Amino acid sequence: MISLHEQKSFFSDINRELHQKIKIFIAQLKSSGLTFSPMTTQTAQAEGFAPEQLYYIKSGTVAVDYEDRCLYLYEAGDIFIPHCVNQYEQTEISFTVKSELEIEVLSLNSLNQTISSIPELLPQWMSILQLIQLQTNQIAGALTPVKDQATPGFQRFTAGEVIINEGALPDYVYSVTSGSATAIHNDIEVGVINQGEIFGAIAVLTGQRRTASVVAKTNCSVLMVHKDDFSKMVHTHPELFLNILKDLSNTVKSLNKRISDNDAS
């Protein structure tokens, strides 16, 4: 993704990480048997981009426009879903072909079915969605008065640094993009959170205080999605979040058992 407005330095870092994740994810989808359909520049110009499709840009650029203003460009290595962009921005966004394109297309229905049948793809897909959302948040921030800007959601923690305090009110859902972290209850380690795993969602969904602290086990990078943005993602990707909730439910059952065992001892 190319921002047409001044961005903080980590925007480029996120972009590199995002492209790496997308490349691996697309390769795994293809190895699972999914077939992408090619799209030419002429087809894109004549027919536009359908809302319920995923587009993977292999070369060329596509502009995202609003009110005759270009907000940003999708470039080679990016994916985009018109339906989700419009719902997230809550306005009518248009897409304009800016250069000769080589695009591969996949229906969202096929994508969701494949992710549902291959559990290890889910955290990868969620990590990609969160990084894309973080980028669009940063771009929106550049176009928004300072007083109305959302707090950026990407942070790095050194080993031993606290990410979440037990008993705190939940404002964010988290995902470890590199490194690992430890969940601690009553000064006892009750779980490890590895790269690609999501944590903090249950407290946000239920409105309850945090039941455990989370501390960086190694130097790590963490993506923080504000609870309001998390709600938007639930709205735009309901099928995926049903699977997330299943995974989180199993995690919570295991975590609660360990907490109970520790409390009993």
pLDDT at 259 over 60: no
C-alpha to C-alpha distance for 151 and 144, rounded to whole angstroms: 12
What are the backbone angles phi and psi of residue 161, rounded to the nearest 5°? -80, 140
Q: Which fold has domain 153-264?
A: Jelly Rolls (2.60.120)
How is the chain split into domains, by residue range?
2-145, 153-264
pTM: 0.58
Whether 2-145 shares its CATH topology with 153-264 is answered yes
pLDDT at 245 over 70: no
Q: How confident is the model at residue 56 (pLDDT cuts 50, 70, 90)?
A: very high
At residue 90, the pLDDT reads 47
Domain at 2-145: CATH code: 2.60.120.10
pLDDT in tens, 78-112: 988 876 554 444 456 778 888 888 999 999 889 88
At residue 93, the pLDDT reads 73
At residue 134, the pLDDT reads 66
Side-chain half-sphere CA neighbours of 29 within 13 A = 26
pLDDT at 46 over 70: yes
State whether the Cα torsion 245-225-202-83 is positive or negative: negative
pLDDT in tens, 122-177: 878 877 877 777 666 655 554 544 433 434 466 889 999 999 999 888 888 888 87
